[in-house]
Structure 1
């Protein structure tokens, strides 16, 4: 049995990393609904568990020095969010893992210029592939390895 809340956490972290990498080094408002989808608060103004989990993933990344921000905006966003030095270095570093295709075979690209090949071996490229695959297993493995990455 899989822990769906952990799979959601890994997916949220992946999306947060991708969004902040795309705007680095510019600070941005990171909205929860951009990470885990829109949410309509209930009649008491409370958000869903899924929405709160997405917000908590953002706060967790900030507390563990992957992201810097000026703090939360209610439970809906992080204000002036940007990757920390650690977060940026992890994502822009060369991956320690081989790239595999859907059949779990190592990918050996043909006729790709060396500079492009090197860029394709970064952690951010691996993370993009994982998210594009929509495979919770691949996302989990990729994000787990990034959170264990030693800069």
Structure 2
């Protein structure tokens, strides 16, 4: 059986990174509901496990140096969030298979890490998305 919470983590990570990349370098709030969908707190005011996992993903990405934020809005958002320079650079870098392909600018553009993540989010399976995001997070390209 698949670890669904890990697949959710990779999906949330992809959505958060793309959201921030699309508005880079502007800072702004990233709301959990925009990433993981609507959530109604229970009668005690507690959010669902899914909501809290997405919020935890945002905090983890910051702890790992991929995004910065100035404050949190309850457990609903990170405010004034922006990609770090390191993360922006990694998202804007071609994967080795894209470099080997050479070719036109369109081929090189498709090989950018951010576009590979976008492609998997739009058309890939959850396994393909998980593998792509895992490679981005844990197997960054080597520097020259």
Q: Would you call these one fold, judging by a TM-score over 0.5?
A: yes
Residue 136 of structure 2: SS of its match in structure 1? helix
Match of 1:126 among 116, 119, 125: 116
More helix by share: 2
> Segments of 4+ in structure 1 off by > 4 A?
none
Instruction: List alignment gaps of at least 5 residues for structure 1.
Output: 99-107
- Tell me the C-alpha RMSD between the 2 structures: 1.5
Residue 29 of structure 1: SS of its match in structure 2? strand
2:93 counterpart residue number: 93
Residue 80 of structure 1: SS of its match in structure 2? strand
Shift of residue 129, structure 1, vs aligned partner: 0.5
Distance 2:53 2:110 in 1: 31
Question: Do structure 1's residue 83 and structure 2's residue 83 form an aligned pair?
Answer: yes
Residue 43 of structure 1: SS of its match in structure 2? coil
Distance 1:97 1:63 in 2: 29
Residue 96 of structure 2: SS of its match in structure 1? coil
Shift of residue 139, structure 1, vs aligned partner: 0.7
**C-alpha distance after superposition, 1:64-97 (max 9, x if no partner):** 1000110211100001000001110110000134
TM-score by length of 2: 0.90
Question: Do structure 1's residue 57 and structure 2's residue 57 form an aligned pair?
Answer: yes
Match of 1:141 among 115, 118, 131: 131
Distance 1:125 1:30 in 2: 20
TM-score by length of 1: 0.86
2:70 counterpart residue number: 70
Distance 1:97 1:2 in 2: 28
- Residues 53 and 97 from structure 1, CA distance in 2 versus in 1: closer, same or farther, beyond 3 angstroms? farther
